[in-house]
Amino acid sequence: MESVQAHYDSMVEAIKKYAPLADMALIDEAFLYAEKMHETQKRRDGSPYIIHPLAVAEIIAEIGLDTDAILGALLHDCIEDTRATFDDIATRFGRPVAEMVEGVTKLTRVQYSTAEEQQMENLRKMFMAMSKDIRVIIIKIADRLHNTRTLEYQSPEKQIIKSMETMEIYAPLAYRLGMQKIKTELEDSSLRYLDPDGYSRIMEFLSSHKKEVDQFMNDVQSMITARLDAVGIEGDIYGRVKHVYSIYRKMDKQSKSLDDIYDLYAFRVIVGSISDCYNVLGHIHDLFNPVPGRFKDYISTPKPNMYQSLHTTVIGEDGIPFEVQIRTWEMHETAEYGVAAHWKYKQDGQGAGQEQQFEWVRRLLENQQDTDAEEYVHSLKIDMFDDEVFVFTPKGKVICLPAGSTPIDFAYAIHSGVGNSMVGAKINGRIASYDMELKNGDIVEVLTSKAAKGPSRDWLKLCHSNQARMKIKQWFKKERRDENIVQGRASIEAELKRMSVPLSVLQNEELLPTLLKKVSFDSLDDLYAAIGYGGITAVKAVNRIREELLRASRAQQQKENDGAVNPLSPRQSKRSDSGVIVEDFDSVLIKFSRCCTPVPGDDIVGFITKGYGVSIHRRDCPNAAHAADPEQAGRWVKVSWADTPVDPFSTSLEIHSVDRDGLMLDIAMVMTGLRLKVTELNARALPDSKCIISLTFEVQDVNQLNNVRNKIRMISGVADVVRSHG
């Protein structure tokens, strides 16, 4: 186990090398303060907690940020995890440092109804702080980077949850900030836990082919170096194998094995000027055969995260394709560290960074208004994902949109007024439909009219960007409230009907305040209107108040049945903490069998065991076939599900599929998307490139289980998904 002193010395070395102007006296004071605050805390591996802030501060120093950023990194967990306060840190180290620490601090003391709501609020808080000081998110990414480096000490469940969150939120954020080096490590580290088999196969392949790879890289590098020396262009040339996750994604997208992937290599040529970049490009195309359609000029058209470089894919003498990236040293620094490379301060420590270049931060804040938490988190992942399309206005302005965007997305990216008054669009001079997918280099013209009636609800299905979707919903919210209320009421009434709950239960004056509080609306009309304009779906709204509605509905039904000829039978009125009622037994120990893992909604029977109460089986379980055996008949009893089971039930599925890279990751992503707790995930290889995956997780009932089966069946290569039968 490494000592605190070793980590402190490592941080100091990084500061001397990358941030030599930093105030070491102030940094030492912050270190001692943080060490005292965290003195009783330990990390999962048993080491002193202060090692984590030291490691984060070292990463911040390596990026080259200033004294305040290093102080913020050292203190980033103090407010959240110790008795330290905002005012105390502001007094000792300055308000900017305290605001950074506050910005990184999670909202752990606030209770939310769903995990998505808490995640949305934490992200919203972080983005607000980030819009004022971009260093907040850089510290948060450095914090996540060190946590991924030490994931081995977490539980398997925590490893999957944290890796998914890293892949969906923090790696795309690092990309948006232009921090390519950190993004790459975050993706590779996450893949190691999300699909350990796929990760290991790629690592073993690269290791076993190291000799041939090194020979190929040296040969190509020598050819480029010799040509540039001959024409008098000074530059640094080096080659690398593409990172593991990049190879993994390529295999998954192209459905190829490792042996079929040849585009594994990339070379960088770093020169002194932009004119040299274009000169080098000509020489590269003279040395090797360029692949048509695989040239990108990010120097003349930089990415929104300021990334600049020339990209071209060529084929060498051995018929092996490889990519060449050509850039200046300034461009290279930006490509590695993004916004951090451009963070400049005045001599007195005051001044602004480059936030004005990051309009997307403002959009992320705007888009969370009037949005359901789950939808916001989902759309946020789309907006930050690294697949993009670059299109032009008729005047030549570059507009960057998520890949898959349509003219509707383009119109709302220009201005909400342009989108709301759009009556048509032209792409490259030709009239185009609203659902036409935009391609890189398209010139898009939006046709508008003052007589336009506004957006159509169908546009919500045709647009791809969260920005367009939110602006369309805001228009409907403002302009069509009465229409929204009617439509929302009809939607929620249909959902209640599906549950066999009358609308009168929702409108009950005594229950209504409780229900409105759970869905976070002031009145029923506000709820109906939100459903009408798309702020929340009827399904999600009803799910949040499902238990209260069902309970009130049962009470109302029982009241109506009081005094009737056929009152509720004793069995129907019984309650059970275990979720199961055993006929003729008032209290008995219940055990759910592992052979068939029954859940509410399944047809079940009970078996009286010796010393373990009643074991519950599905009626189609092979072990339940013994119920017909005369010798055992007396031990099988009738059981039924209670009205409202309290806890989730563990169950298992067997997934029969083609054995392919990325399969385990796809399954993990489905389960994460459904917000279900996975307790076990194992794979077994079969002949003919087939496999069986055993998946154990928790659900509320058989309907939820069937939804999981349907989602998994849609995964590429999956042949069947069946319940376990022992």
SS3 of residue 436 by DSSP:
coil
Q: What are the structure tokens assigned to 143, written together?
A: 């914090």
Beta-bridge partners for 590: 614
Q: Are 309 and 326 in contact (CB under 8 A)?
A: yes
Nearest to 266 by CA among 247, 293, 285: 247
What is the spatial distance between Cα 662 and Cα 665, in angstroms, rounded to a whole number? 5
Which residues have CB under 8 Å from 536's CB, separation 6+?
372, 519, 527, 530
Residue in the block written with tokens 């929302």: 488
Of 463, 458, 456, which Cα lies nearest the Cα of 479?
456
* b/e code 382-392 from CB counts within 10 Å (16+ = b): bbbeeeebbbb
Known catalytic membership, residue 81: yes
- The pair phi, psi for residue 233, each rounded to 5°, is -100, 120
User: Which is catalytic among the residues 29, 80, 355, 620?
Assistant: 80
Does an H or E element contain 322, and which? strand 321-328
Give residue 85's region: left, alpha or beta (phi > 0; psi -120 to 50): beta
Query: Which among 179, 390, 144, 183 is positioned nearest to 305, based on CA atoms?
Result: 179
DSSP of 66-97, one letter per residue? -HHHHHHHHTTTHHHHSS--HHHHHHHH-HHH
**What gap in Å lies between CA 676 and CA 708, rounded to an integer?**
9
Neighbours of 618 (CB within 10 A): 24
- Residue whose pair of structure tokens reads 């490893």 in the numeric block: 159
Distance of alpha carbon 711 from alpha carbon 695, whole angstroms: 14
Residue 386: active-site member: no
Q: What is the 8-class DSSP label of residue 637? A: E
Residue 678: other Cβ atoms inside 10 A: 17
DSSP string, 441-489: T-BEEEEE-TT-----TTHHHH--SHHHHHHHHHHHHHH-HHHHHHHHH
**Sole residue written with tokens 């009421």:** 489
Q: Are 281 and 326 in contact (CB under 8 A)?
A: yes
SS3 label, residue 136: helix
Name the residues annotated as catalytic.
80-81
